[in-house]
Structure 1
């Protein structure tokens, strides 16, 4: 297997781990982000409402889309990241910097690699998250039949009515979120790994303990959400908004969404749903990096 194929495969493993661990927290976050002010008094109120009204399986509503899509997204993230890291390492080696093999990248190089990984990922994560959010916020009390029977039903109906632009609704905000977020995300993780290797001279990256991979991934996840949460909230609002004024469209653009939310709901709206995200983050992101690192070791041993 080529190095790129191994990176993509290991990234898929990380993505699947992320979805299985993080999905219940994510649906609570999305419900709180997209609900009217005062709908939920907090995370527990939202979660118990979902459990009482929709049952335990509701916490995995719309999971098929992210299970397939996020697996691809994380695969693309790590594939693009590792490919770009190898380019920078080769440049460092030619310049006599970066230590053994030029592999010790600067912060700017890691951030740039993360930005490129995020943008590459955004082409898939935008429509995947749009469809997932439509399914997650679909009311169980809607008159039957429900608007969407599943991911394929949602894609077909949205595309038929609004074209490709409808499927990619909120894409510009997604690109901003992914570029900023993953630049910081991978910078935090790689710097923690570099620090660990400096503290243990002679230790190889492959010898990093699973516990440290989880811990560093959790820390990177917190860095990610500290940067992107308000952007993510706007993305969720855009992706649950109507497609046209006739179908209940509230926001003309992302900027209009920011202004409207600020004016009508105040600054607190930009952090609504943050608690379940902060609880979810160490588990989901720790699982992501653990899945990637462990899968990489297995694949690289072949």
Structure 2
């Protein structure tokens, strides 16, 4: 892997002295670069996400497929309907990607220095974190960011399944109103409803960041692609691998997050939601809404990682 393409992810440590002075600025830049990743991901991916959530949570008879859902949304609510619920993830994705990518950088460094250490001192300067280390760091970063992601995605999901074009007919007028009603009615646990499902879903970050490392190494060694091009292709393809492995967990998570709270609650436990999906549609139920999600995964995450790595290079973190 070339130093240009992957130094923010796999930079070696040349000496024990560098270990003491390098991590702080590198870690800080990772958190900053993550903000730009979050903005990019929202702009590119939110319309796909709206269609995905509506397909995941609606009755099968309401939409025949993603195209019909798209057409009905635009016809009844205009283009703004595709960005319904975008305000919480606009702020949320900035914070979430900053925390995820920043913590990912920290966890990678800690694992490289304290767990996957080189056999001898001569290998110290060229030592890189192995692929399994990237996967483990991905799990740790996924669990960390879940504590921000759960309330953001909870509010977003509830706003996305409001179908009324007339704002007066909606239960929630916006993200703040939704958050306040959840807290007033059910306390902070109500706002964090779906946290366990969020943590389970993000455990699949092992597949995302492990495959990102494999693809980055492959493209660096076997192609003449530029650093941004490597980031684009490795980022987009690894995101699709992640969704292929994690999507059923996301369907269950969305069911839980859009479940009525209080007396009308249908899914008191994760397995209750999982069983309901199976009972309604069999194994196909776990893949409902997958097409818009899969189509979104490549461009949104490819551009997000191009933005992240580009900012890292601009800040001199390479």
Q: How does 1:149-168 map to 2 (within 5 A)?
A: 149-168=173-192
Change in Cα spacing, 1:101 to 1:42, as seen in structure 2 (3 Å) is: same
- Contact in 2 for aligned 1:96/1:102 (Cα 8 Å): no
Aligned to 2:12: none
Aligned to 1:194: 217
Q: Could you tell me how far apart the structure 2 residues matched to 1:250 and 1:108 are?
A: 38
Aligned to 2:244: 226
The answer to which of 186-195 and 110-119 deviates more is: 186-195
Q: Could you tell me how far apart the structure 2 residues matched to 1:279 and 1:52 are?
A: 21
TM-score by length of 1: 0.91
Given the alignment, which residue of 71, 75, 79 partners 1:56? 79
Aligned to 2:15: none
Aligned to 2:49: 26
Q: Could you tell me how far apart the structure 2 residues matched to 1:141 and 1:279 are?
A: 26
- Contact in 1 for aligned 2:236/2:301 (Cα 8 Å): yes
Aligned to 2:18: none
Change in Cα spacing, 1:141 to 1:174, as seen in structure 2 (3 Å) is: same
Given the alignment, which residue of 157, 166, 169 partners 1:133? 157
Asked whether 1:178 is paired with 2:202, we answer yes
- Contact in 1 for aligned 2:44/2:300 (Cα 8 Å): yes
| Structure 2, unpaired ranges of 5+ | 1-23
What is the RMSD of the two structures over their aligned residues, measured on CA atoms?
2.2
Aligned to 2:313: 297
Count of aligned pairs: 294
After TM superposition, give the deviation of residue 155 of structure 1 in Å.
0.8
Change in Cα spacing, 1:98 to 1:186, as seen in structure 2 (3 Å) is: farther
Question: 1:73-117: CA deviations, max 9, x gaps?
Answer: 111111111111112232445533895635422222111101001
Change in Cα spacing, 1:97 to 1:40, as seen in structure 2 (3 Å) is: farther
TM-score by length of 2: 0.87
After TM superposition, give the deviation of residue 145 of structure 1 in Å.
4.9
Asked whether 1:215 is paired with 2:233, we answer yes
- Contact in 2 for aligned 1:30/1:137 (Cα 8 Å): yes
Q: Could you tell me how far apart the structure 2 residues matched to 1:14 and 1:260 are?
A: 35
Aligned to 2:276: 260
- Contact in 2 for aligned 1:210/1:290 (Cα 8 Å): yes
- Contact in 2 for aligned 1:89/1:102 (Cα 8 Å): no
Q: Could you tell me how far apart the structure 1 residues matched to 2:44 and 2:166 are?
A: 28
Q: Could you tell me how far apart the structure 1 residues matched to 2:275 and 2:117 are?
A: 48
